[in-house]
Structure 1
Amino acid sequence: MESVKSQSYEVFLNELGEAALNQHVAKHGYSKIFVLVDENTRKFCLPQFQKMFEHSIDDIFEIASGEENKHIQTCLKVWEFLSNEDGDRKSLLINLGGGVLTDLGGFVASTFKRGIHFINIPTTLLSMVDASIGGKTGVDLGALKNQIGVINQPQMVLVFPEFLETLEPRQVTSGFAEMLKHGLIKEQEYWEQLKTKEDFKDASSIQKSIAIKNDVVTQDPTEKGIRKILNYGHTLGHAIESYCLENYDKRTLLHGEAIAIGMILEGYLSHELTGLSKLALDDIKQTFLKHFEKVEFDENDIDSILKLLKYDKKNSHGDINFVLLQSIGIAVTDIKVPENLFEKAFAYYKE
């Protein structure tokens, strides 16, 4: 299976990844090699990684898993670890984990000694098809998603689908939401293919999603234009994710679970504002509700979620900008939404 080439790095799948990793490390002669893990990837993925890695690892650092640990205090621990272990500008950090870990690890590497090399080895479906691709790194500010960070590309991304066998089904389904998004914003045929899938873990679909995201990111690395379409479902989805994270009476949602709700809501806004047909809207809703359990929101919940929209990273000059769909496979950016439509969108979701 061929690699996916970006402007400054490649994404390698399966055995190509193992060979590329070992060749890269041999070529660069790093002074120190560190591996960042969480308690899950240390147990389930690190042993397999160590078997394929032909070079010595200087040290391994474990952080706690979960979005609630994706903050600057965790970064401080990793920076202090790298410093205490004599990390220098010729060190390499290998991030072995899901989206939280690759986001945080990439940010740590990008800022330690003003920047050291890092390699992402995503271990969840979400991180394979989305989080580890494109160079976005960063952490949350309180419950507000990804407020602190930089765009900086890894040396390479290595995807080993066998790591997905270590995940509970809920985690795999969460990643599937981003794959469905890729079809919605860029390729209707891919959306139609994914809708009927029962197994989301096949390498060909993973490669297809990586290729779609990579194509968008390569055209617009710093999100000045087309890259914004990757945020479809994320404006309301991130607000929902943040709200559920900071309210103990709400079940904490995985990223994909929150984004799935966001895509239904923003699908409704698309129907009202940018021409998405009612047939396509209902198709989007039915497809996501087939895989994701509906979450109940009362009026107070909705008010609180809408207040969080002002923190969205796509906002400019006080305006909240949305990515909406003209049709399945065609997205448009920088759409301003009248406030009266938000409650109607939630009402459609509840129906």
Structure 2
Amino acid sequence: MKAIPSVNNTVYFVEEAYQKLNDCLATNCFSKVFILVDTQTQINCLPQFLPLLQTNITIEVIEIDSGEQNKNLQTCKGVWEALADLGADRKSLLINLGGGVVTDLGGFVASTYQRGIAYINIPTSLLAMVDASIGGKTGIDLGNLKNQIGVINDAKMVLIDPKFLATLPANQMRSGLAEMLKHGLIADKNYWKKMTDLSQLNLTHLNELIYRSIEIKNEIISDDLFEDGIRKTLNFGHTLGHAIEAHYLNQSNENVLHGEAVAAGMIMAAFLSHKLTQFPKEDLEELSKVIKKYFGTLSIKEEDVPEILDLLKHDKKNSHGKVLFVLLSQIAQPQIDCKIPKNLLKEAFTFYRQV
């Protein structure tokens, strides 16, 4: 697959990715190389990855606990301290080998350690491949509030190797699928149509879909790196999705993945689009049917809704105290900065439960 140039770096694929990584190690005079993994990628991905490195530079591995609940300042502190204890300096390189938690947190750690060291993202989950690792957004959660602390700072490069997906459980694959569905809904009707039926999916088709998803995200961020305009469309389904995810992070006995929450958020955003921006009823029905086919329905009780809606006040797209949504007028025709009447937000949850 052909490399995809982005604003400040390039996304490389499969064999070329490792060649470019080794070229980078050979030409940049890094003092040390640090590889950030979590407890899952330490076991499932690191043994495949280490033999592909061709360098005499000292390599150190730093491990964090896996899971969104560990994407916090305490974990960052542990990684910063490990870097310091192991002699990292401003010429060190951090390689983030993992899913969205590792690439988000690792990018933030690298961007702030000694005012910034270079980092490379090697995403190992579908969600990280098509979304989290690309575009320079780094960050951590503040309590149960998603991605409240962070900076936009691009990785030196992003390397995509779909063979890492063989290590993923089915629910993690579905989590990434939500972002791919979103890319079709906001930017490419033909891509959305391909995503509506994956019953005949094979590895070649999956690689092509991943590639197109990365292309879509890259086209958007290349036009708007700092989210002043069109990049906001990437938040379709995320306003309510993040609030739902944050709500479930508060529930110690339940776990909802990012993609599962965003899937629910997209159905609700489509309902709001039908009510406010003339999104066609037949498209709303198809969108709801497709997403529920892959994700089912979250058990959001009526008594949970006020808390979820209260969490909307922390959304990063808010401006001047107003909660702003991304809606659709047609598939691949998004509208940004849409204000929503509170009564319609409650109706969206009712629609989601009943559709």
Q: Scaled by the length of structure 1, what TM-score is found?
A: 0.98
| Stretch deviating more after TM superposition (74-83 or 191-200) | 191-200
Tell me if 1:258 matches 2:261. yes
Shift of 1:88: 0.6
Aligned counterparts of 1:35 and 1:299: Cα–Cα separation in 2? 44
**Which of 306, 329, 335 is the aligned partner of 1:326?**
329
SS at match of 1:248: coil
1:72-111 paired onto structure 2 within 5 Å: 72-111=73-112
Please report how far the alpha carbon of residue 96 of structure 1 lies from its aligned counterpart in structure 2 after TM superposition.
Answer: 0.2
Deviation at 1:50, TM superposition (A): 0.7
Query: 2:216 — aligned with what?
Result: 212
Q: Does 1:167 align with 2:171?
A: no
* 1:300 matched to 2:303: yes
CA distance in 2, matches of 1:87, 1:205: 38
| CA–CA distance in structure 2, aligned partners of residues 297 and 241 of structure 1 | 11
Tell me the distance in 2 between the aligned counterparts of 1:297 and 1:91.
45
Shift of 1:299: 2.1
Structure 1 partner of 2:149: 148
1:163-196, CA deviations, whole angstroms, 9 ceiling, x for partnerless residues? 0000111100110000000000001100001111
Q: Select which of 312, 330, 333 maps to 2:315.
A: 312
- The aligned residue for residue 17 of structure 2 is 17
Higher mean C-alpha deviation, range 76-85 or range 49-58: 49-58
Whole-angstrom CA distance in 2 between matches of 1:94 and 1:290:
36
Q: 8 Å contact 1:176–1:200 — kept in the other structure?
A: no
Q: What secondary structure sits across from 1:315 in the alignment? A: coil
Residue 57 of structure 1 deviates from its aligned partner by 4.3
In the alignment, the residues of structure 2 paired with residue 85 and residue 248 of structure 1 have an alpha-carbon distance, to the nearest angstrom, of 35
- Residues 195-204 or 127-136, more deviating: 195-204
Instruction: Report SS of the residue matched to 2:150.
Output: strand
In 2, Cα distance between the equivalents of 1:212 and 1:200? Answer: 21
Unaligned runs of 5+ in 1: none
Q: Deviations over 1:238-276 (max 9, x none)?
A: 000000111235x21110000000000001000001110
Tell me how large the CA RMSD over aligned residues is. 0.9
- 2:239 counterpart letter in structure 1: T
CA distance in 1, matches of 2:343, 2:43: 49
Whole-angstrom CA distance in 2 between matches of 1:162 and 1:230: 26
Counterpart of 2:46? 46
Change in Cα spacing, 1:327 to 1:346, as seen in structure 2 (3 Å) is same
Q: Which runs of 5+ in 2 are unaligned?
A: none
**Is 1:246 matched with 2:250?**
yes
1:178 partnered with 2:182: no
Q: Which residue of structure 2 lines up, in the alignment, with residue 35 of structure 1?
A: 35
For 2:312 and 2:44, how far apart are their aligned partners in 1?
37
How far the C-alpha of 1:292 sits from its partner, in A, is 0.4
Check if 1:338 corresponds to 2:329.
Answer: no
Which residue matches 1:272? 275
User: Aligned letter for 2:99?
Assistant: G
| Residue-by-residue CA offset, 1:252-311 (whole Å, 9 max, x unaligned) | 111000000000000100000111000011111000000002112222101110000000
Retained in 2: the 8 A contact 1:17–1:158? yes
Distance 1:39 1:163 in 2: 15
User: Residues 37-78 of structure 1, C-alpha deviation per residue, up to 9 Å, x if partnerless?
Assistant: 011101110011111111244210000000000000000000
AA aligned to 1:2 is: K
Q: Which residue of 2 aligns with 1:229?
A: 233
* Alignment-mate amino acid for residue 127 of structure 1: A
Match in the other structure for 2:63 = 62
1:209-261 CA distance string (max 9 Å, x none)? 00000010010000001000000000000000000111235x21110000000
**Structure 1 residue 200 displacement after superposition:** 7.6
Q: How many residues align?
A: 350
1:86 to partner: Cα distance: 1.1
